């Protein structure tokens, strides 16, 4: 006999949960409070949607920051290769870029949504937009068989449906909550699922924004707004203690720094940064040693020996950065290159290898890619995503206390937990 299953939240986890719940022939209703599905997917990866990472499955676990062991069944049940197969079989070819990041060939996140919508239509999932759930409905288990199951599972409740904001009650045999976290509240992620979980007796851990850009103290950073640096390295210190280092891509903004390297750093050092400012050093030429870079600078100076300093380093730096480096070096921009002293050249060299910026705080939920914290995973069955407290209640995606580094890993969590919740609820 087919079941009636309600999925609350039409994001990545919710759509995949609805698809797999319906695949088994169940009647599935997907309820989304926004005017369209996948609103957050539209803005991920700068509108390109980094939908997973093509690394080995073992590496997926290494890139999960919180509760990676909980994801064993989810990741092995629906791994990154199955994510790729799913989208390609629904008419969306993918490509793999640097760092094994997987994107649609079209570079359009909207194509990810279209593929998911096609999949939902194919399985006859009933999608209701502008439909907000205000609370879950449950009842105490009374029949003997259920009581035996309850004794085993330490639960006394079973789900019966949901109540909508307009007061309508919708009955269901199973409910999957996939309402997201608190990041990008403009997309509808306003913590609704946390309240539903708490009302059902679940614990919600402390939630903070994660994968966030940083504010920077120095005013010169603003003049570099929009400048993206590739193949650079950063190291972040608290006093003399190194907290983090990385190599990759970063971006200057009107308030400070962002980009993949910075967002990944925030997953590790955000708590330290909340307590006090931290020192970050940018290595603009990580492939060159001090000696090799000095020789390179000397070569440029030799070619431009009769030019003014301000016109001599255009082969070494992006144009936008030249005025900033000149000012920080303290070298007169109009000085002839052949008059620059060794001491001045060393100052320039140090700026290339160790450009200092002061990080003075993380940005908030409006710019956070994900939420750190969520529903305590010890209260969820990792083999099914079912609540250990309420029969027939499942959770998937960012609403759970799971978060990972940037690179497609957080969406992989959404797909995998959505799959597991959908297939488990369907049984």
**What confidence tens digit (pLDDT) does each residue in 302-340 have?**
998 889 999 999 999 999 999 999 999 999 999 999 999
- The mean pLDDT of 245-262, rounded to a whole number, is 95
The predicted model gives 209-236 an average pLDDT of 95
389: left (phi over 0), alpha (psi -120 to 50) or beta: alpha
Q: How many CB atoms are closer than 10 A to CB 346?
A: 13
CB burial of 235-255 (b: ≥16 within 10 Å; e: otherwise) equals: bbbbeeeebbebebbbbbbeb
Q: Tell me the average pLDDT across 396-401.
A: 97
Contact 221, 256 (CB under 8 A): yes
* Cα 128 from Cα 208, distance rounded (Å): 30
323 membership: H or E segment, kind and range: helix 322-329
According to DSSP, the residues that pair with 96 across neighbouring strands are: 102
Q: What average pLDDT score do residues 351-367 get? A: 94
HSE-CB for 396 with a 13 A CA cutoff: 38
Concatenated DSSP letters of 82-102: HHHHHHHHTT--EEEEGGGEE
Determine the pLDDT at residue 49: 96
* Mean pLDDT value of segment 369-374: 91
pTM of the predicted model as reported, rounded to 2 decimal places: 0.87
Q: How far apart are CA 282 and CA 84, in angstroms?
A: 35
For residue 424, the surrounding DSSP H or E stretch is helix 409-426
Instruction: Name the strand (E) or helix (H) holding 295.
Output: helix 290-303
User: Could you tell me the pLDDT band of residue 184, with boundaries at 50, 70 and 90?
Assistant: confident
Q: Give the pLDDT mean for 113-117.
A: 98
Distance of CA 326 to the CA centre of its chain: 36
pLDDT tens per residue, range 217-228: 999 999 999 999
pLDDT-above-90 percentage for the chain: 85
Helix axis angle, 290-303 to 342-353, nearest 10°: 120
pLDDT of residue 149: 54
152 pLDDT more than 90: no
DSSP 365-407: GGG-SEEE--B-GGGB-TTT-BBSSEETEEE-GGGBS-EE-SS
Write out pLDDT tens, residues 70-99. 999 999 999 999 999 999 999 999 999 989
pLDDT of residue 160: 97
Rounded-to-integer distance, Cα 22 and Cα 18, Å: 6
One DSSP character per residue, 37-89 reads S-HHHHHGGGGT---EE-S-HHHHHHTEEE-GGGGHHHHHHS-HHHHHHHHHH
- When pLDDT is cut at 50, 70 and 90, the band that residue 399 belongs to is very high
Three-class SS of residue 286? coil
Query: Mean pLDDT in the chain?
Result: 93
């Amino acid at each position: 006999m087919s079941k009636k299953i309600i999925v609350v939240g039409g994001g990545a986890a919710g759509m995949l949960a609805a698809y797999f719940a319906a695949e088994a022939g169940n009647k599935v209703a997907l309820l989304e409070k926004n005017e369209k599905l996948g609103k957050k997917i539209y803005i991920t990866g700068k509108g390109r949607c980094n939908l997973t990472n093509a690394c080995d499955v073992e590496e997926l676990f290494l890139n999960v920051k919180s509760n990676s062991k909980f994801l064993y069944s989810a990741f092995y049940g629906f791994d990154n290769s199955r994510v790729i197969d799913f989208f390609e079989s629904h008419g969306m070819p993918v490509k793999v870029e640097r760092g094994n990041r997987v994107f649609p060939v079209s570079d359009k996140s909207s194509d990810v949504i279209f593929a998911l919508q096609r999949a939902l239509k194919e399985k006859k999932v009933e999608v209701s937009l502008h439909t907000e759930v205000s609370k879950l409905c449950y009842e105490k288990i009374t029949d003997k068989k259920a009581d035996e199951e309850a004794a085993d599972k330490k639960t006394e409740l079973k789900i019966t449906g949901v109540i909508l904001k307009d007061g309508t009650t919708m009955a269901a045999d199973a409910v999957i909550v996939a309402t997201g976290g608190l990041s990008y509240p403009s997309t509808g992620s306003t913590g609704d699922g946390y309240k539903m979980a708490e009302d059902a007796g679940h614990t919600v851990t402390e939630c903070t924004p994660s994968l966030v850009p940083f504010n920077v103290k120095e005013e010169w950073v603003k003049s570099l707004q929009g400048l993206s640096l590739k193949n650079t390295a950063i190291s972040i210190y608290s006093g003399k203690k190194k907290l983090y280092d990385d190599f990759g891509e970063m971006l200057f903004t009107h308030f400070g720094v962002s980009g993949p390297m910075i967002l990944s750093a925030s997953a590790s050092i955000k708590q330290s940064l909340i307590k006090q400012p931290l020192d970050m050093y940018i290595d603009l030429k990580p492939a060159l040693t001090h000696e090799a870079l000095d020789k390179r600078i000397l070569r440029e100076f030799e070619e431009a020996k009769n030019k003014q300093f301000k016109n001599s380093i255009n082969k070494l730096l992006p144009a936008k950065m030249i005025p900033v480096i000149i000012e920080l070096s303290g070298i007169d921009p109009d000085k002839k290159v052949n008059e620059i002293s060794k001491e001045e050249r060393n100052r320039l060299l140090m700026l290339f290898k160790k450009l200092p910026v002061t990080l003075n705080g993380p940005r908030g939920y409006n710019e956070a890619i994900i939420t750190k914290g969520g529903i305590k995973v010890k209260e969820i069955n990792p083999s099914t995503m079912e609540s250990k407290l309420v029969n027939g209640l499942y959770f998937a995606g960012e609403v759970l206390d799971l978060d990972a580094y940037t690179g497609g890993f957080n969406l992989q969590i959404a797909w995998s937990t959505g799959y597991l919740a959908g297939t488990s609820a369907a049984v």
